[in-house]
Structure 1
Amino acid sequence: MPRFLHTADWQMGRSYSRFDTEDGAALVEARFEAIEKLAQLANEHQCDAVLVAGDVFDAQTVSDRTIRRVFNATRGFAGPWVMLPGNHDAALVESVWTRATRLGAVPDNVHLALEPGVITLQSQGLALLCAPLTQRHTYGDLTEAFNGYDTSGGLIRVGLAHGSVQGLLSDDIDATNPIAPDRTDASRLDYLALGDWHGTKQINDRTWYSGTPEPERFRNNEAGFALVVNVTGPGDKPEVTPIATGRFQWHQWRETLAVASDLDQLLQRLDALPEATVLDLRLEGAITLAGEDQLLGALSVAEARFRSIRCDRSGLQLEPTDDDIAELKADGYVGEVISELRSQQEGDRGEPARDALAILAGLLKGRDQEASQ
């Protein structure tokens, strides 16, 4: 009964320039750790092979060091690895794959599917029908060639491809590199292992996208998994089990604060997130000066606890309450300035007015604290 691990879209060499240097380096390292975890899972689940359905590398120009580290990370599983070129690392005449071969970086147990055809793993009971991308974009279905591939009797026929199943994925996925939705039936496949969609997704009983093993974007599409696939025999329905592999959780929150309870709920949700969190937070609405102090304190704690947090507060207006104003002891001219800044937040100078109000409130609080010492 063949059992294999299906993974894809490692995107090794991907950079995270929008993050702080320390955070970006940790996110890069997590992707290498994900490969090591895949090797560990392949051993734990007694898999016969690991199939990588495209985009092992993020670009043809990744460094030699990255190439070597990728293949070094596979050493934890001694069984066969089969790697398919995708749109990011297409099997060009001169490519990241030819460079890896020249470097002598490819271990003997790693099979590179650089040409269309069948890779037979006889002792594992697998016949792998491969449709590598030999250019970044194609407009014909490369898996159509599977129809004419003969395989030895008794072997499980597994298709390995990278592209977009026509008519079944969201509209924003690339329309290039199409794959027919009935490919498993038309080509008599027991299973079709796909890459390109970065989240785990079932197309039908025999067709799955594994998604990327380590999330790298904020889109909520079930990233951070690999698939353990069991097929009892030719023609039998495969048993597919998603296994969590991701280290970091990526969250993108868009929150509107209107009343005090909104802030309380937000802070509770922040506190419930694990340390391995990458959070993009955008706040709108209004907040009191006391609430602003509470929010800034919570964000400061989160910055030290999470892997990364970015908070955009440009759409959040400061609306001091009467108690806020009384606490600031802002009477006379200073009180008039505060009133003017409050009103200016509604106009074109909203963000500068908000910042000025926050600075002024901070100065007034600092003055009172010094006076009390």
Structure 2
Amino acid sequence: MTLRILHTADWQIGKGFGQIPGDDGAALRNQRLETVSALAELARGEAVDAVLVAGDVFDAQSVGDRTIRQVFERLRAFPGPWVLLPGNHDAAVAESVWDRAERLGAVPEHVHLATTPEPVLLEDAGLAVLPAPLQRRHEPADVTAWFDEAAIPAGYTLVGLAHGSVTGFLPAEADAANPIALDRAATADLAYLALGDWHGTLQVNERTWYAGTPETDRFTSKDPGHTLLVTLPYEGGAPGVAARPTTRYHWHRLSQSLHEADDVAALADRLAALGEPATDQVVNLTLHGALTLADKAALDETLEDWGGRLRHLRVADTELTTRATEADLAALDGAGFVATAAERLRQGAEAGEPADATALEMLLAAYRRYGEG
């Protein structure tokens, strides 16, 4: 006999994506709600005994009432028990988002809001969830300490639920607030400790895991976009943990050195290899090097093409320069301001003067029009 739970965390519903404007940001924001629906369907399909959400269900206390209703409405698709834990983004403060949810009458009967540090007993499953809700954004003490002394009726399998940073385990860039003891699963005799706050799937020890966010939300997360299916033997023993991919959008951080036409073609190949559909790829692209006017024109066409196909393409090109070759300048012989600009660049080059970047960009625009006409 086994007990099966779905462990997820860090939904951050209502996340703004301020650096991704317009329709792209709206699509990413809306997908987080769609992912909640996908989690409910996953829980139903896997016939789990409970779903545990380890904090940061909401991105902020200020999310709108409609957003609150939308979240809880989607939980109805899986009728088994859900246990939702307040994290640092949605801490159980006075007049919290959780209070509003209850006042709105939005919380279904099978959804448990673990806003106080006391056991949640799921009798049908024989599961006792020990929650460590954050009751303010930053707690200096380990709020899981009470697990060690928790009084639980006989016959229940103990699982901890917490949101914070495992002391001495996470990388240096992790938030040091809300500490959690590295050995908490052992000292509290837990079958499993379900954690949130770290946005990538990460095993701490045999009985302690971070689920990570189920929908990728940044370029820097390591192994995001999963939910954990956890199998707990009733007779004890190590839990079985399987990561299930749940993300729709995939975020990529790329860097490309550009010096010739083949490099531009290679960049197009890299973008094409990110995965299908292209509309589910979010890309942060850094460019450096130096291109001729003709190759820069080809690059601009490539970026315009892929910018329209990808969900979002952010380009940083401050380290990419443009140079005019003799062939570039010769191609602009003729009359009018294009020829005048070309002649000035020739004279400057003959005098040993460095090319002016702004003038080169203006010439590039003219070059493209000349080539097209």
- Whether the TM-score (by the shorter chain) exceeds 0.5 is yes
Partner of residue 354 from structure 1, selected from 357, 366, 370? 357
The match for 2:120 is: 119
The match for 1:328 is: 332
**Counterpart amino acid of residue 316 in structure 1:** L
Please give the alpha-carbon distance, in whole angstroms, between the structure 2 residues aligned to 1:272 and 1:291. Answer: 22
**Secondary structure of 2:94 counterpart:** coil
Distance 1:369 1:105, change over 3 A: closer
**Secondary structure of 1:9 counterpart:** coil
The match for 1:27 is: 28
**Counterpart amino acid of residue 53 in structure 2:** V
Please give the alpha-carbon distance, in whole angstroms, between the structure 1 residues aligned to 2:134 and 2:170. Answer: 20
User: Which whole-Å deviations, capped at 9, do the CAs of 1:38-76 have from their partners, x for residues lacking one?
Assistant: 001101111111100000011111111111111112121
Q: Considering only aligned residues, what root-mean-square deviation do their CA atoms show, in Å? A: 2.1
Preserved contact between residue 215 and residue 226 of structure 2 (Cα < 8 Å): yes
The match for 1:249 is: 250
Q: Are positions 1:363 and 2:370 aligned together? A: no
Q: Are positions 1:143 and 2:144 aligned together? A: yes
User: Which whole-Å deviations, capped at 9, do the CAs of 1:301-348 have from their partners, x for residues lacking one?
Assistant: 1122111111122221112333323323379853343357889xx98x
**Counterpart amino acid of residue 265 in structure 2:** D
Preserved contact between residue 341 and residue 356 of structure 1 (Cα < 8 Å): no
Deviation at 1:287, TM superposition (A): 1.2
Normalising to structure 2: TM-score of the pair? 0.92
The gaps in structure 2 that reach 5 residues or longer are: none
The match for 2:37 is: 36
Q: Are positions 1:53 and 2:35 aligned together? A: no
The gaps in structure 1 that reach 5 residues or longer are: none
Preserved contact between residue 39 and residue 76 of structure 1 (Cα < 8 Å): yes
Partner of residue 283 from structure 1, selected from 265, 287, 301? 287
Deviation at 1:298, TM superposition (A): 1.4
Please give the alpha-carbon distance, in whole angstroms, between the structure 1 residues aligned to 2:297 and 2:52. Answer: 51
Preserved contact between residue 154 and residue 234 of structure 1 (Cα < 8 Å): no
User: Which whole-Å deviations, capped at 9, do the CAs of 1:76-96 have from their partners, x for residues lacking one?
Assistant: 111010000001111112110
Deviation at 1:360, TM superposition (A): 1.5
**Secondary structure of 1:228 counterpart:** strand
Please give the alpha-carbon distance, in whole angstroms, between the structure 2 residues aligned to 1:341 and 1:108. Answer: 77
Please give the alpha-carbon distance, in whole angstroms, between the structure 1 residues aligned to 2:118 and 2:143. Answer: 11
Sequence identity, in percent?
A: 46
The match for 2:313 is: 309
How do 1:150-189 and structure 2 match up within 5 A? 150-189=151-190
The match for 1:232 is: 233
User: Which whole-Å deviations, capped at 9, do the CAs of 1:20-42 have from their partners, x for residues lacking one?
Assistant: 21111101111001100100110
Deviation at 1:259, TM superposition (A): 4.2
**Secondary structure of 1:356 counterpart:** helix
**Counterpart amino acid of residue 5 in structure 1:** L
Normalising to structure 1: TM-score of the pair? 0.92
Please give the alpha-carbon distance, in whole angstroms, between the structure 1 residues aligned to 2:142 and 2:106. Answer: 31
Deviation at 1:218, TM superposition (A): 0.8
**Counterpart amino acid of residue 361 in structure 1:** L
Preserved contact between residue 341 and residue 354 of structure 1 (Cα < 8 Å): no
Distance 1:94 1:327, change over 3 A: same
Deviation at 1:194, TM superposition (A): 0.2
Distance 1:11 1:323, change over 3 A: same
**Counterpart amino acid of residue 288 in structure 2:** E
Preserved contact between residue 131 and residue 161 of structure 1 (Cα < 8 Å): yes
The match for 1:98 is: 99
Please give the alpha-carbon distance, in whole angstroms, between the structure 1 residues aligned to 2:202 and 2:57. Answer: 19
Preserved contact between residue 200 and residue 210 of structure 1 (Cα < 8 Å): yes
